């Protein structure tokens, strides 16, 4: 087995190599490779992709997203693991762990993991090379009825009643939508807010973010947000393309978009900035910036936009905003607590102990 290491410079060359993109299994998609190359925090010599080849075929791969994290005025380089996969049918035993140890050697300054599957967390814990950070706690809100799915999950024998369940869900959701519209019109906070939508960070927003990101672990700025919004890893498409069928992780979905929202109070003062991610029928708060006194207004803005994009559910990982969102309680809502795990390699133990703020889009979570 051979493990090849690709740097940013190598990816730039591979973008013009047709042979690389014709392999039976793709270790990265072309548009994800372009995004890696445009990462403002990456250097051309950074190793960003490990690919294991067995008998000339791709048996596993591991992506590494270069980033910078902050402790006071000190900057620390790290790479976030992303796209970690080993072929369960042909790969040698322990290939996932082999790729992980190779990544640790290539990034002695430190590695991070955002989220991760159960198998990935098992390997991380077994390696004893990583520290689990305090989980990021949040809230998931659902406001569509899905009686059919719940009933069929509990009793598959009810499949013959599927059409009746769909009709019931449709009627219940239409009633709930009408009551929510009425609730929104009666809620005074919505009428006091103004919005401006941006696809790149303007000067006003740049200054606002920089005043509010000093406690963040990654301190995202204008270049970072412009990159995220311009170079997504998942594309909106009606179906998977040929590349997507050869890549283990998501590369397309029916709807994928970013929505940058500037929130203003009734006096025209900027009260917050929120970057929302919309994937199919789910809206997620990726990054949010605001003063504590403006948290109710920003929470209301998030709810209004989740409803406006016709999302089935909303996810956010911000204790303060979650509390205000939960208190709004529009008709038809159900809520549950959620959490998101993060890991840092032991080389970053001092950073892990500093308790910096993590956001719901940190690591590679902005891209999925």
Instruction: Say if residue 202 is in the same domain as residue 125.
Output: no
> Rounded to whole angstroms, how far apart are CA atoms 213 and 312?
30
The reply to whether 74 and 211 lie within a common domain is: no
Last residue of a domain, one of 110, 135, 160: 135
Any idea what the CATH number is for the domain that residue 82 is in?
3.40.630.30
Q: Are residues 215 and 286 in the same domain?
A: yes
All residue ranges of the chain with pLDDT < 70 are: 90-91, 144-162, 165, 168-169, 172-178, 180, 182, 186, 331-332, 353
Q: How far apart are CA 52 and CA 5, in angstroms?
A: 9
Which residues are registered as beta bridge partners of 69?
76
Residues 113 and 209 placed together within one structural domain of the fold: no
* 3-50 per-position pLDDT tens digit: 999 999 999 999 998 889 999 999 999 999 999 999 999 999 999 999
DSSP 8-state assignment for residue 95: H
Of 135, 156, 176, the residue that ends a domain is: 135
Looking at the fold, whether 129 and 208 belong to one and the same domain comes out as no
Residue 282: phi and psi, rounded to 5, are -120, 135
**Distance, CA of 35 to chain centre:** 15
Q: What is the pLDDT of residue 10?
A: 97
Task: Establish if 163 belongs to a structural domain.
Answer: no
Instruction: Using alpha carbons, select from 233, 249, 236, 232 the residue that is nearest to residue 25.
Output: 249
> CB of 299 within 8 A of CB of 261?
no
The Cα 274–Cα 280 span in angstroms is 19
Structural domains in the chain (count)? 2
Between vectors from CA 29 to CA 112 and to CA 85, what angle results, nearest 5°? 50
Is 298 a domain residue?
yes
What is the pLDDT, as a whole number, of residue 174?
Answer: 67
User: For residue range 59-87, what is the model confidence (pLDDT) as tens digits?
Assistant: 999 999 999 999 877 899 999 999 999 98
Per-residue H/E/C for 42-86: CCCCCEEEEEEEECCEEEEEEEEEEEEEEECCEEEEEEEEEEEEE
Please identify, among 94, 112, 135, the residue that sits at the C-terminal boundary of a domain.
135
Contacts 24+ apart (CB under 8 A), 221-224: 223/40, 224/40, 224/41
Backbone angles phi, psi at 82, to 5 degrees: -155, 145
Residue 249 shares a structural domain with residue 121:
no
Residue 154: the pLDDT is 64
Whether 204 and 307 map to the same domain: the answer is yes
Residue 171: inside a domain = no
Residues 258, 331 within the same domain: yes
In this structure, is residue 173 part of a structural domain? no
CA distance 329 to 333: 7
121 & 219 share domain = no
Domain encompassing residue 276: 138-145+192-340
Structure tokens at 223: 């270049």
Same domain, 198 and 131: no
- Could you tell me if residue 254 is inside a domain? yes
In a domain, residue 363? The reply is no
Query: By three-state DSSP, how is residue 92 classified?
Result: coil
Place of tokens 């909303």: 314
What CATH number corresponds to the domain at position 311?
3.40.630
Asked, for residue 293, whether it belongs to a domain, the answer is yes
User: In this structure, what token pair is assigned to residue 310?
Assistant: 């016709």
Specify if 226 maps to a domain. yes
**Cβ 171 vs Cβ 147: under 8 Å:** no
pLDDT of residue 148: 57
- Cβ atoms 274, 263 nearer than 8 A: yes
**One domain for residues 128 and 34:** yes
Looking at residue 312, its pLDDT comes to: 86
Of the candidates 21, 23, 24, 47, which has an alpha carbon nearest to the alpha carbon of residue 36? 47
Asked if residue 322 and residue 209 are part of one domain, the reply reads yes
């Amino acid at each position: 087995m051979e493990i090849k290491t690709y740097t940013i410079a190598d990816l730039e060359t591979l973008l013009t190599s047709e042979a690389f993109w014709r392999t039976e299994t793709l270790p990265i998609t072309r548009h994800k490779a372009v995004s890696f190359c445009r990462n403002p925090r990456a250097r051309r010599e950074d190793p960003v992709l490990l690919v294991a080849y067995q008998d000339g075929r791709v048996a596993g791969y591991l992506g590494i997203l270069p980033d910078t994290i902050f402790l006071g005025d000190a900057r620390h380089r790290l790479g976030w693991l992303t796209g970690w996969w080993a072929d369960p049918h042909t790969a040698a035993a322990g290939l996932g762990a082999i790729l992980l140890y190779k990544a640790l050697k290539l990034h002695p300054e430190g590695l991070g993991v955002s989220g991760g599957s159960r198998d990935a967390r098992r390997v991380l814990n077994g390696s004893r090379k990583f520290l689990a950070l305090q989980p990021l706690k949040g809230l998931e809100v659902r406001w569509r009825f899905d009686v059919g799915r719940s009933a069929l999950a509990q009793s598959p024998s009810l499949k013959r009643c599927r059409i009746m369940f769909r009709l019931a869900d449709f009627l219940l959701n239409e009633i709930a939508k009408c009551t929510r519209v009425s609730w929104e019109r009666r809620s005074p906070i919505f009428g006091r807010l103004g919005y401006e939508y941006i696809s790149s960070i303007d000067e006003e927003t740049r200054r606002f973010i920089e005043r509010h990101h000093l406690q963040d672990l990654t301190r995202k700025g204008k270049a970072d947000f412009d990159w995220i919004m311009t170079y997504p890893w998942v594309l909106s498409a009606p179906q998977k393309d040929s590349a997507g069928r050869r890549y283990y992780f998501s590369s397309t979905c029916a709807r994928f978009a970013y929505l940058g929202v500037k929130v203003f109070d009734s006096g025209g003062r900027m009260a917050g900035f929120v970057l929302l991610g919309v994937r199919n029928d789910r809206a997620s708060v990726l990054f949010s910036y605001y003063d504590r006194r403006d948290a109710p207004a920003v929470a209301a803005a998030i709810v209004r936009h989740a409803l406006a994009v016709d999302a089935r559910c909303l996810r956010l990982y911000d204790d303060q905003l979650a509390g205000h969102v939960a208190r709004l309680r529009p008709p038809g809502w159900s809520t549950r607590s959620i959490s998101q795990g993060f890991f840092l390699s032991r080389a970053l133990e001092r950073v892990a102990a500093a308790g910096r703020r993590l956001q719901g889009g940190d690591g590679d979570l902005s891209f999925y």
